[in-house]
Structures are given as C-alpha cells and as structure tokens.
C-alpha cells in the first residue's frame, strides 16, 4: 500500500461546546486551532473540523447492510485491528450508545473487518472499522 495523506473533513454541529468535549474527552482527539464558530481536531491523524450550524430537522437515512440499518451519511477511520478492539472497549466503558455494536463482518472471507457505529452529540454518525488484513481494504 502507498502512504496515505491525511484527509480533511468539516462537519456541522449545533452544539459546539458539547461536541468539542465529546471529540476531545470521549474520542481522545487532540484539539488544534479554534474560533467561536469552529474547532480543529487531530482525528486519528486526519483533520476534522466541527463547525457551528443551527440545528435542522433532517431525517436520518439508512441502508440495509448485514441485516443492520447503517446510517447514511457517516464518516470515520480505519484503525489497526488491535487499536480498534481497545478503542471499542474504551467506548463501552464510557457508555457510548452504539447504533451498531462492534462486530465482525465477512469473518473468514476476503475483507474480514471489525466495525461499529455511533453518533456524536450533534447526531453525526461515525463508523470505525479495522481489517484483519489491511491489504484487503479494497478486496472484492
């Protein structure tokens, strides 16, 4: 695999301080620059920016995957296998309300992966995953 460059993603939040605390203290993301309308975070080596936006009544959409309702849109990162499992346990200890509890997909098959979904305090859906063999990230 080639070395990946960090991605940048900016997401809307209607509660800047609550989300700041969540990303910093629950997900353990290091806080970077900020203003009264946005905050930068080191999101597992990537740049995540939360931007204040007034709350709207957006309907949640899901797609069926493995018999589960996967929220769309969602974002997250691919972690190392051991890091994923330690992170999942840490989130359980912090009483995260999972949309989809951590589980293994495609067990024993190409693309075997661990995955979990949960929301941030603004309702943004996050997925964290890990591949048993990272070289199968794009396996068919």
What would the pLDDT profile of 115-133 be if each residue is shown by its tens digit? 999 999 999 999 999 999 9
Do 114 and 85 meet the contact criterion of CB atoms below 8 Å apart?
Answer: yes
In a domain, 15, yes or no: yes
Of the pLDDT bands very low, low, confident and very high (cuts 50, 70, 90), residue 1 is low
Q: Which domain holds residue 46?
A: 8-54+63-136
What's the number of domains the chain is made of? 1
Q: Work out the number of other CB atoms within 10 angstroms of the CB of residue 91.
A: 18
**Which has the closest alpha carbon to 103: 121, 119, 84?**
84
3-class SS of residue 58: coil
Residue 74 structure tokens = 């969602």
- Give burial (CB, 10 Å; 0-12/13-18/19+) of 42: middle
Do 71 and 125 meet the contact criterion of CB atoms below 8 Å apart?
Answer: yes
- Supply the pLDDT for residue 2: 67
In a domain, 36, yes or no: yes
- Supply the pLDDT for residue 120: 97
Of the pLDDT bands very low, low, confident and very high (cuts 50, 70, 90), residue 4 is confident
In a domain, 72, yes or no: yes
What would the pLDDT profile of 45-93 be if each residue is shown by its tens digit? 999 999 999 988 777 799 998 889 999 999 999 999 999 999 999 999 9
Q: How far is CA 128 from CA 34, 53, 137, in A?
A: 25, 24, 13
Greatest alpha-carbon span in the chain: 48
Specify the CATH number for the domain of residue 19. Answer: 3.10.180.10
Indicate the DSSP class of residue 6: P
Contacts of 27 (CB under 8 A, 6+ apart): 43
In a domain, 30, yes or no: yes
In a domain, 17, yes or no: yes
- Supply the pLDDT for residue 42: 97
- Supply the pLDDT for residue 40: 98
In a domain, 3, yes or no: no
What would the pLDDT profile of 21-53 be if each residue is shown by its tens digit? 999 999 999 999 999 999 999 999 999 999 999
In a domain, 1, yes or no: no
What would the pLDDT profile of 100-119 be if each residue is shown by its tens digit? 999 999 999 888 999 999 99
Q: Does 99 have pLDDT greater than 80?
A: yes
In a domain, 2, yes or no: no
């Amino acid at each position: 695999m080639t070395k990946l460059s960090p991605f940048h993603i900016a997401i809307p939040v209607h509660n800047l301080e609550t989300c700041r605390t969540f990303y910093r203290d629950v997900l353990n993301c290091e806080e970077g620059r900020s203003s009264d309308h946005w905050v930068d975070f080191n999101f597992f080596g990537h740049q995540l920016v939360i931007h204040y936006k007034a709350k709207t009544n957006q309907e949640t959409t899901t797609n069926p995957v493995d018999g589960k309702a996967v929220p769309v849109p969602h974002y997250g990162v691919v972690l190392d296998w051991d890091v994923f499992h330690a992170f999942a346990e840490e989130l359980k200890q912090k009483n995260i309300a999972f949309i989809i509890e951590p589980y293994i997909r495609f067990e024993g098959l190409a693309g075997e992966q661990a995955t979990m979904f949960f929301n941030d305090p603004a309702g943004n859906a996050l997925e964290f995953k890990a591949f048993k063999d990272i070289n199968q990230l794009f396996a068919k």
